[in-house]
Amino acid sequence: METVAQQVDQAQVKAAAPHAWMPVSPCGTGCVQQRPEVGVARAGLRAAGAVSVLLAYPFVHLVTPPSRRSGAQRRFARTLLRACGIRLRVVDRRAGAAAIGPRYAAPGAGVLVACGHIGWADIVVLASVQPLAFVARADLIDWPVLGTLARVMRVIPIERERLRRLPDVIEQVGHRLAAGERIGFFPEGTTWCGRAYGSLRPALFQAAVDTATPVQPVRLRYLDAHGNRSTVPGFVGDDTLVDSIVRVLRARNLTAEVVLAPVEQAGTDRKELARRCERAVRAEELSDAAHAVLAAADRQLTKAAVTSV
């Protein structure tokens, strides 16, 4: 049974959305747990290394022959992850995984990669497995540092506040899938804290249906040194990009785990395809309702602590 706290939380979140179909998340900065941090000096070295990688990449991209750019992009993405202090772990659960290798698809084979969304680091993590373009928020192009990477990766911008633009985005994704590109997207439509999730919205799955392109479901989570789920990379609520970046750079022993679930064929119904992909990536995850209960409990504990001081 839904509690009063859940009802209030959901009502407040929905009221803040610009339209009824806008994806929303109850996650906020209170969901982000504080973990042991590295020193300021080490975090500064990580920041300098990450910026150096990002500044060097556009030049390397230009001088690298097209046939070798995919490998160069993956190496740069992995180097950027290491510079940020994030380790990468890939778990492949697909049939014939040994023949496919730890990648989304063979070169020249179009595939739509569907993944839950936690924060800005997700794009770098997914590109570290195999380079791909992304459907991402339109203002990502204007972000400091990450905007350069987004332009090189040929990001397909989406403005979720403007529903009338959605058919154009679906058409653009479809054309690029038909041309044999790998396109990643985040069908939850917004970020969650990393220990909870939202429903996979079916709209962009239409591009796979229209072009009969297979979908690669991906389960992404961040783990601490003990293998527990970490919310440090979450970019949620009132978080600023700078705060989120600093938090990641100061994180200790952070691992990004990418689980490649069995590939789903497109079929003829985008809603049914979205449901299949959701089942594929939801192992060991919390539901929206369960997260609302935990979030309410966290707020009550925080309020009690403040009152007792």
pLDDT digits over 134-165, tens only?
Answer: 998 777 777 766 676 677 777 888 877 777 88
- Quick check: 215 and 146 in contact, CB under 8 A? no
pLDDT of residue 48: 96
**Does pTM top 0.85 for this prediction?**
no
The per-residue pLDDT for 238 is: 87
Q: Rounded distance, CA 172 to CA 169, Å?
A: 5
> CB of 280 within 8 A of CB of 243?
no
Cα gap 106→24, rounded to integer Å: 35
- pLDDT for 100 equals 64
Our separate counts of H helices and E strands in the chain read 11, 7
- Dihedral of CA atoms 66, 124, 256, 158 in degrees, nearest 10, equals -120
The 3-state DSSP class for residue 26 equals coil
| pLDDT at res. 256 | 97
Q: How far apart are CA 107 and CA 232, in angstroms?
A: 34
What local confidence, expressed as pLDDT, does residue 306 receive?
A: 39
Reduced to 3 states, what is the DSSP secondary structure of residue 41? helix
Q: How far is CA 37 from CA 90, 117, 124, 252, in A?
A: 25, 23, 21, 5
Residue 11 confidence (pLDDT)? 43
Determine the pLDDT at residue 185. Answer: 94
Centre a 10 Å sphere on the Cβ of residue 18 and count the other Cβ atoms it contains: 10
pLDDT of 19 reads 54
Q: Please answer whether residues 233 and 254 qualify as being in contact, where contact means their C-beta atoms are separated by less than 8 angstroms.
A: yes
Count CB-CB contacts under 10 A for residue 136. 22
**Terminal alpha carbon distance of the chain:** 34
Phi-psi region of 141 (alpha: psi -120 to 50; beta: other; left: phi over 0): alpha
- CB of 198 closer than 8 Å to CB of 190: yes
Q: What is Dmax (Cα atoms) for the chain?
A: 64
pLDDT reported for residue 193: 87
Spans in the chain with pLDDT lower than 70: 1-21, 97-100, 144-146, 148-149, 283-309
What pLDDT, on the 0 to 100 scale, is given for residue 141?
72
Give residue 179's pLDDT.
Answer: 95
